[in-house]
Amino acid sequence: MPLQVWLLAIAALLAGAVAARLAGVWFRFRGSGVVTCPETRKPAGVQLDARHAAVTALVKSPDLRLSSCSRWPEHAGCGQACLAQIEAAPQDCLVRNILARWYEGKLCVCCGRQFGEIQWAGQKPALLGPNRISVEWNEIPADKLFVELDAFEPICFACHMANRLVREHPELAIDRSRQAP
């Protein structure tokens, strides 16, 4: 084989390795998270700059920094000491993982169906509030997540959609539990 083919093959392998490293770090640090603010000792909703973490991971361990925090803009100049929590256990701070653990072993409050593995890209389960109105989990601010989870019950996607249909379009729903006149 000519030398040029070998060089192209090596370059392609290196490019593939770099792309895999970038994607892996980006996927690991993307998404909303919840940390305990070292200043207030209360939950704060944060997002990491996943792109910055991925790019810096090419030459060393990822350099973490926040791209948003529920305490900003008032406290935007903080030292970001909460990053130590994320560095220690990045997966434990992610909202999607907190919710997956919360749904684990639970049954839908309406139909009784058990929650299996959560499909975050598709038909996500929801939360049923004390007012019997269901909401999607992304409607709850991350810094209020733990308080809300104590007050809400799990509801599957199908029951959530039915609840929403009845609430938003009652003229399209038929209540079969009522007696006919």
Note the pLDDT tens digit of each residue in 106-148.
Answer: 999 999 999 988 887 788 899 999 999 999 988 999 889 999 9
Q: How far is CA 136 from CA 2, 62, 124, in A?
A: 58, 32, 8
Cis peptide before 73 (omega within 30 of 0): yes
What is the spatial distance between Cα 60 and Cα 19, in angstroms, rounded to a whole number?
A: 15
pLDDT in tens, 119-129: 877 888 999 99
81 C-beta neighbours (distance < 10 Å), count:
11
Residue for token pair 């379009």: 169
Q: Which residues, given as ranges, of the chain have pLDDT below 70?
A: 1, 177-181
What is the spatial distance between Cα 108 and Cα 162, in angstroms, rounded to a whole number?
A: 13
Q: pTM here?
A: 0.74
Q: For 142, which DSSP code?
A: G
Contact between residue 36 and residue 44 where contact means Cβ atoms under 8 Å apart: yes
